[in-house]
Structure 1
């Protein structure tokens, strides 16, 4: 099938040709006709499957085809969890709508609202926003959502995971009841399913891949090592693979900075991207990564959402995530839109339970790389993890609240926010 078979209008087909797109991905093939029929949609699709075009293309066409007089207020609202993803979606709407007389504005936190407000004072068709900044502006009295006819919730699972659920619900309460709602999520945990049930009216359900499975074309491997040896192991992997455009995941902002500094000292150009970086610094790092000025981008999970770079061959999990679904999101940064990719993970003794959880989730044993210079003295085996009763008892003991009120992320409830998570994208 080609895009010509999806009943898209000539200006959009011309824009797709300009971008070099000829064949829709499975999620695009199934979603575009549903949205053009003005039906609610519930779509479960992995990252990197082309879902932005799945809703951007038909919504641009629906907007263009409306016969009513143009409105000053936006008709389409796209809610996304992070500023990087907001900018990525904005770039897509710009590219696909280059031959249409439609205007879009993107708003997000972390920067002054002045320029965003000035842009909103002109006629706007599409509004792309993170929940925190949008709610701030609504509370200041800006009429941004009263005329919304089409709502998109993109990466709904991450929205809940980052603690945005209450902001999202406050925004939804302001929207017109009569609207078309489009709901995308890479995974479908109970909390996301509950939210979709409340929002959608007789939705068409599309599931391109089972929830939380990994792209088959991604070659996965794990290096067992000791924690102090990880910096040297990272250099070893990067130098031996000769990889360019490598995305390295760290669990913390401090860790991301530390890894990037270590790589630069070793002669490998790298930059870190996370919530404590200014918007300008984050965009500069992303731009340098896309153009090849730096070969390694070190990111935290929240900052990495929205990074969509063609040809990125490597993802390295310097630290395994303590939530197994996050592993799926991470490695989805490579192997985009059906391309092949490589995902490498480092695992120390303390991370063995995380590896076991990941393998259980993806229903696959990740191959172990043996014979490398930084193997631990004694073999690490996921099979030697504590029995379930013993592990449960250990978790109960470990969970004891600290005086600061912070808690270990491994034991947070789904949708519950942590101080570090919540502040990043307001």
Structure 2
């Protein structure tokens, strides 16, 4: 096993890593750090949760310390662009944590808060500036920030920045930075738009790729639960009767939907909050802090807002609504498999979402196993989602009180080899009698049961 001490990092960084409990790098860190220490440009393909922030923050901090020079007024030596405010805050915190033994100045620039404090911070120049494209461009246009002395440029989650319409701001920002620089671009996906951007900003880059889509989902215990739309809220609420659902990240497609789900959970006695673009910066940061500290069990988020969420110990990701973009499914469920850990992802699929499920399965190259045993199972939807194959018949075995989740294995989808059998016949999540066609939800023992979060291994440095 490789150690951080073998990657060429200086003692102050190793001391900071040790204080955080990190000893071994993740694959993206092990591959990236040596190249970046040599000053090379790099194209990194990695999902969130792989430790990519540390993979660029550590070598950049070492460079800043080795090449000691004062930042110019209104400028920065290092610029990191991120798509969201939450991600900017977390990247900035990573630089502070890992660089705690260096005397470096940091600044955050993003929208949703006042400009004046940001302008004052930038007036004397900083070593590391982490910014979102929109607010950075605003301050550049006002003459409050200049980029003509930037030595290192990092584009983090570039695919999401392009999805959010930041391509023109990014090109204007890059045009203001000297061409003699080190550039790092990270992206979870590689569409043509990212290929074009990479070709225009990188110079003879090394390419580092880890956790492709198909392998990211392999570490996650996935289940799809076919349910009528009117039963979704009740099913979601009953999931929290299971104590193993300790910290759940719940996804909706819209901001209003996130609010409604969070309010419904709160009324049911489940501490919850929502995070999305319509919330103030203070409200978003409070919700995230409450989630991290365990003051709320459920955080309901939209896809864009969730790109800034980097929280350890998420036991479950629950897709209350399936995404209409299959790549978003991978980003979502990856939140519960951070830095090499495994996790649980549950998806509630109603009749209008079957086509989304099929697109997701095509993208991840496997079928998502079906949970037939939950109390609100909808056979008429399952028959469509399972490719027209009905649930195999047979009565479940008696469930042990000592092991309420024991029982017969989940059935795969018809003859599809990617069902539960591909996972070695794991027990079903559900613990009640299966719902029968034409009947209402099962009464006795009908609440769904869900497995706990599998244990992780040795800690690795996170983003």
TM-score normalized by structure 1? Answer: 0.88
Partner residue in 2 for 1:373: 375
SS of the counterpart of 1:365?
coil
Partner residue in 2 for 1:7: 8
SS of the counterpart of 2:103?
coil
Rounded Cα–Cα distance in structure 1 between residues aligned with 2:204 and 2:320 = 43
Rounded Cα–Cα distance in structure 1 between residues aligned with 2:215 and 2:385 = 20
Rounded Cα–Cα distance in structure 1 between residues aligned with 2:379 and 2:60 = 57
Rounded Cα–Cα distance in structure 2 between residues aligned with 1:369 and 1:362 = 19
Query: 15-24 or 375-384, which moves further after superposition?
Result: 375-384
SS of the counterpart of 1:240?
coil
* Match among 137, 140, 159 for residue 138 of structure 1: 140
Rounded Cα–Cα distance in structure 2 between residues aligned with 1:276 and 1:191 = 28
* Cα shift at 1:238: 2.1
Partner residue in 2 for 1:173: 175
* Cα shift at 1:69: 4.8
Partner residue in 1 for 2:230: 228
Partner residue in 2 for 1:127: 129
Bigger radius of gyration among the two: 2
- The answer to whether the aligner puts 1:157 opposite 2:159 as a matched pair is yes
Partner residue in 2 for 1:390: none
Count of aligned positions: 385
* Cα shift at 1:123: 3.4
Partner residue in 1 for 2:451: none
- The answer to whether the aligner puts 1:340 opposite 2:357 as a matched pair is no
Question: Which whole-Å deviations, capped at 9, do the CAs of 1:90-145 have from their partners, x for residues lacking one?
Answer: 11001000000111101100111111111112331000000000000001012331
Residues 295-314 of structure 1 mapped to structure 2, 5 A cutoff: 295-314=297-316
Question: Which whole-Å deviations, capped at 9, do the CAs of 1:267-307 have from their partners, x for residues lacking one?
Answer: 10100111111111111111111111111000111111121
* Cα shift at 1:228: 1.0
Partner residue in 1 for 2:18: 17
SS of the counterpart of 1:75?
strand
1:187 and 1:212 in contact (8 A); partners too: no
Gaps of 5+ in 1: 386-426
Rounded Cα–Cα distance in structure 2 between residues aligned with 1:116 and 1:242 = 42
Residues 238-387 of structure 1 mapped to structure 2, 5 A cutoff: 238-240=240-242, 242-378=244-380, 379-382=382-385, 384=387
SS of the counterpart of 1:332?
helix
SS of the counterpart of 2:154?
strand
- Root-mean-square deviation (CA), in Å? 1.4
Question: Which whole-Å deviations, capped at 9, do the CAs of 1:183-209 have from their partners, x for residues lacking one?
Answer: 101111111111101111110001112
1:212 and 1:325 in contact (8 A); partners too: no
- The answer to whether the aligner puts 1:49 opposite 2:50 as a matched pair is yes
Rounded Cα–Cα distance in structure 1 between residues aligned with 2:303 and 2:70 = 42
Partner residue in 1 for 2:421: none
SS of the counterpart of 1:171?
helix
Partner residue in 2 for 1:395: none
Rounded Cα–Cα distance in structure 1 between residues aligned with 2:148 and 2:32 = 26
* Cα shift at 1:67: 4.2
Question: Which whole-Å deviations, capped at 9, do the CAs of 1:38-72 have from their partners, x for residues lacking one?
Answer: 11000101110000000000000001100445544
Describe the shift of the 1:120–1:363 C-alpha distance in structure 2 as closer, same or farther (beyond 3 A): same
Higher helix share: 1
Rounded Cα–Cα distance in structure 2 between residues aligned with 1:107 and 1:372 = 46
Query: 162-171 or 57-66, which moves further after superposition?
Result: 162-171
Rounded Cα–Cα distance in structure 2 between residues aligned with 1:302 and 1:70 = 33
